[in-house]
Amino acid sequence: MGSKMTVQELMLNLKACGLEEEKFEEYLSNWKSGKTEEQLKLLSEKRQIILDNIHKQEKQINCLDYLVYQIEKGRLPIYLF
């Protein structure tokens, strides 16, 4: 079993995962108060936000790939003035 995380490591990890300042302070307050469920809730919410952004970007990549495929196959509509 590994050693416990230091306070400095905790703070660095919170910053690295992209917690906004308000959520960062809220997390630390909950941590100091021993409110584990609230800490987990904040981390879960941040995780969901990141995951939603990833899914949005995956859809954008799929659209780009589809356009490239259509261009390569010569299937885009011809634009006439």
pLDDT tens by residue, 11-31? 999 999 999 999 999 999 999
CA dihedral for 21, 23, 27, 33, sign (positive or negative): positive
> Kind and range of the H or E element at 45?
helix 36-72
pLDDT > 90 in the chain, percent: 86
**The pLDDT value given to residue 1:** 60
DSSP SS3 for 81:
coil
**The pLDDT value given to residue 56:** 98
pLDDT surpasses 90 at 60: yes
pLDDT > 70 in the chain, percent: 98
